[in-house]
């Protein structure tokens, strides 16, 4: 597992929009002040961690099994009452912004 701290939520958003599959989302920045997004980009398994109180980071896992272990850990931290399906069923969570991610390259 590798972890890199990031300052900008825009960098995390760019990776989230580039994800080929969103596995799980825990938390909500509006109510919890933190959010963890587990996703895959091509063959990489990643956690994008947003926080208003702590540092933000990108965590890259060696394989899907390692990611699932951390998903279980996050589920415990955030509690089982959070349902990620609610997040994706609400269209307002995917409102188009004027952010231009064309300058970001995944391979870099």
Read off the pTM.
0.71
Summarize the confidence of residues 48-69 as an average pLDDT: 94
Domain count of the chain? 1
Cβ atoms of residues 58 and 4 within 8 Å: yes
**CB burial of residue 6 (10 Å; 0-12, 13-18, 19+):** middle
Whether 28 maps to a domain, the answer reads yes
Whether 101 maps to a domain, the answer reads no
How confident is the model at residue 47, as a pLDDT? 96
Considering the chain, what is the average pLDDT of its residues? 83
Asked if pLDDT for residue 76 goes beyond 80, the answer is yes
How confident is the model at residue 95, as a pLDDT? 54
Whether 108 maps to a domain, the answer reads no
Lowest mean pLDDT among 3-7, 13-17, 32-36, 55-59: 32-36
Question: Domain of 51?
Answer: 2-83
Whether 9 maps to a domain, the answer reads yes
Residue with tokens 């231009």: 100
Summarize the confidence of residues 54-59 as an average pLDDT: 93
Summarize the confidence of residues 27-34 as an average pLDDT: 85
């Amino acid at each position: 597992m590798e972890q890199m701290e990031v300052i900008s939520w825009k960098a995390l958003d760019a990776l989230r929009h580039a994800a080929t599959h969103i596995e799980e989302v825990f938390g909500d920045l509006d109510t919890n002040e933190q959010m963890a997004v587990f996703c895959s980009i091509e063959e990489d398994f990643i956690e994008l961690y947003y926080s208003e109180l702590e540092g933000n980071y990108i965590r890259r896992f060696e394989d899907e099994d390692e990611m699932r272990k951390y998903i279980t850990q996050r589920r415990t931290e955030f509690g089982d009452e959070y349902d990620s399906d609610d997040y994706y069923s609400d269209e307002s969570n995917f409102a188009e912004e004027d952010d231009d991610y064309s300058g970001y390259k995944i391979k870099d």
